[in-house]
Amino acid sequence: MSVVGDFNKWDRNANYMEKIADGVWETFISGLSQFDSYKYCIETPKGKFLLKSDPYAHHFETRPGTASKIYECSYKWTDEKWISEKSKRIIYKSPVNIYEVHLGSWMHDDNDNPLSYVSFAEKIIPYMKKMSYTHIELMPLTEFPFDGSWGYQVTGYFAPTSRFGTPDDFKLMVDMFHNAGLGIIIDWVPAHFPKDACGLYEFDGTCCYEYTDERKSEHKSWGTRVFDYGKGEVCSFLISSANYWISEFHIDGIRVDAVASMLYLDYGRTEGNWVPNKYGKNGNLEAMSFLKHCNSILRKRFPRAVTIAEESTAWPHITGNPDDGESLGFTYKWNMGWMHDFLEYMKLDPYFRSNNHNKMTFAMTYAYSENFILVLSHDEVVHLKCSMINKMPGEYEDKFANLKVGYTFMMGHPGKKLLFMGQDFGQWAEWSEAKSLDWHLTNETMHSDLQKYVKSLLSIYNRYKACYELDQDPEGFEWMDPDDYTRSIYSFVRKTMDGRDSILYVCNFTPVARPDFRVGVPCPGRYTLLLNEKCEEGTEYIAEKIPTDRMEYSIPLPLAPYGTAIIKFNYKKVKKPIKKTKK
């Protein structure tokens, strides 16, 4: 094994390394400079020479180059107040309202090139503040060779991609977010890695980072290798990476990609092409142990940081305390079940929604089984799935009205929130990593109106504790009427711990006006409109003792086609709900 690079004209005989322990090699090279490129030259037992990037490098050549670069950071942080304050908060009782972004395609400069880390921060922070997002989630920025992988095929687990600047530039970007009061989450990929010759693939000519058994070592459909979680060195490598991004780059959390592919030994594999565990089951015991250990370490070292699982099955105990013996220890799990049912319902012609009413209520039967984030992510607006606005049924104006009422239901439903870029103003085209969002659409009336409405939704979410304080407590939610399937109307209440400023949500999912609509409310008192589909506010209602929707009290609430209403009130306990009355 030797080191080759700019400093020795890539001569594999110039700087040999000495083996000092099993699998451990070292050498000393003087006179190296910032940005010098280098690789390891490894001679395999079969006499083949491999040129490999440094798995622990902090910086890389910009694609198509794949060499590692010498880089010493010198950035001085200014976010001490942010770190201190967030270390004391209870995240479960705080607003978490995430804007998912692909940095390379959010916006381009005047020459149609992606923005740098710093330019990106300068432009997106005012937008996020205006829209009332609390966090940004960035699709993978760990170094990767192929743009079309969106960053999910990683070759540099300790290096921000050089596409957008240096590690110090990345740190400045994070600092800018924190000083603006915004959290930053990054996607992290410990499930698999690509077969690029420069990367971890068969690093010493054998299966080093991956499993040796071909029935476990590869995801055939993805063309990627699977980490061997049974090797202490591999687990240490990955846990060190997660730790590094939080400790060195001050990241506020990591979203772990493709967790299901880690947990199931038969994931994407046909019968006879996978290996059961020692109990004859399909759970990957080594991956489970790795995830628990990783989450346990991060929780103890970084109380402010969150870990989020993209896990698409009903695997139990994804979230919770990793030391309780059952939980994998994630802070949150993406609610893929809610997402699937929500989109299936929203795509329906309103005529057929009455027969699918339970798609929107079913998620409440398991809403407290995990700590969930409701997601409408990048995966739902690519590969011919249509953009969010184009999923909606009806003519031009109907599509916008549908999306408004859908977003209203989402923002009221228990669980933290995530929207992908472009969804808040109605991007028509599917997302592409190769081009900027269509920002010109925000100058058109229907798009700017949708954007204004989403802004109001997000602002209400942040301002009122009822929207997030009791996300993990069944006492924080109450249906007024979950069964109005004939009219496809849903009404429910989100509560606060003290009852003050509780919120009533009403959503009409048909283009039929309901001028005589009356909604049951849980108590007497004054009810004040915060938002409707026209962005109106301020109308006041006094609860009347007219039984409706199992409730003893109600208010008249004429509903427009696709009408919405978000109404605040002070919750006062009354006697138990009476038997449901006929409409």
d(CA 470, CA 475): 7
d(CA 309, CA 280): 26
Q: Left (φ > 0), alpha (ψ -120 to 50) or beta: where does 499 sit?
A: left
- Six token digits for residue 216: 């476990």
Cα separation of the two ends of the chain: 80
Contact 198, 145 (CB under 8 A): yes
User: Which regions of 161-319 does DSSP assign to beta strands (E)?
Assistant: 183-188, 193-194, 218-219, 224-225, 253-256, 306-309
Is 79 noted as a catalytic residue in this protein? no
Contact 307, 322 (CB under 8 A): no
CA 462 distance to own-chain centroid: 18
Cβ partners under 8 Å of residue 380, min gap 6: 339, 343, 388, 420
d(CA 409, CA 360): 9
Pick the catalytic residue: 100, 252, 310, 481?
310
Pick the catalytic residue: 202, 257, 370, 379?
257
Is 257 noted as a catalytic residue in this protein? yes
Contact 551, 521 (CB under 8 A): yes
Instruction: Using alpha carbons, list the distances in angstroms from residue 307 to 176, 185, 254.
Output: 22, 9, 5
Question: Among 66, 70, 25, which Cα is nearest to 197's?
Answer: 66
**Residue entry with tokens 């006062």:** 572
Active site residues: 257, 310
